[in-house]
Amino acid sequence: MAHAKLLIVLILLTINVLACKNEPENKVTSEPLPTTAADSAAATGNQASYILKEKMMLKDGKELVFPKEKDAAAVIFFATPGATIEGKTSLNPEGQMQAGRLTSTLAQAGIAQVYVEGNAAMQTGLGTARANECEFNLFKADEGESILKVILKNFTGKKVMVVGSPEVISGMMNLVTGKTDLTAVTGNSMTVAIAKGLGDAEMHEVSY
């Protein structure tokens, strides 16, 4: 009889141990603070939900209506290339994923022209150009001001994307705003400029 009771106790203990192992862990988690420009933009609501020909809708419900031709302003999407393979200018898998997200975000934006500076920028912007069935042009690092003048002259009421190194994009952003301290955002972020002329532009930073 004693052996039978001992056997029952052992069986009950075994069942309890197995039950404890199968219970899900109650881990305490916390949301990380934004550490990148993209994270910061998303945290403040400046994350693009979708971008159409007429407007850009943000995740927080706000929208940015794009100017029409009569408004004499051009919309410029400033972006930087994704991450590249170490020692090369080709995009690595992470960079390719970023380029894909950019293409998905701008696929219905009605972009009229894409300008790219360098091989990584070309790989980043090619999908967007194809999705919008628009012209695709290369430019050199020292031609940023010339490209801006072409955009402001020929693309009022239209949308253009410019992809280049952070240095090149920073320089172009400062030229179009008339400032000297703007820095291009990287990662899954871009800057949208509503530009009427050199030194006259309204800037919006969004993540995608």
DSSP states of 52-70: -SSEEEETTS-EEEPPPGG
At 98, is the secondary structure helix, strand, or coil?
A: helix
* Class at the top of the CATH hierarchy for domain 51-207: alpha beta
Q: pTM for the full model?
A: 0.76
DSSP track, 24-49: PP-----PPPP-SHHHHHHHTT-BEE
Domain ranges of the chain: 51-207
pLDDT tens digit at each of 208 positions of the chain: 544 444 444 444 444 444 444 433 333 222 332 333 333 333 334 787 779 899 998 877 788 899 987 888 999 999 999 999 999 999 999 999 999 999 999 999 999 999 999 999 999 999 999 999 999 999 999 999 999 999 999 999 999 999 999 999 999 999 999 999 999 999 999 999 999 999 999 999 999 8
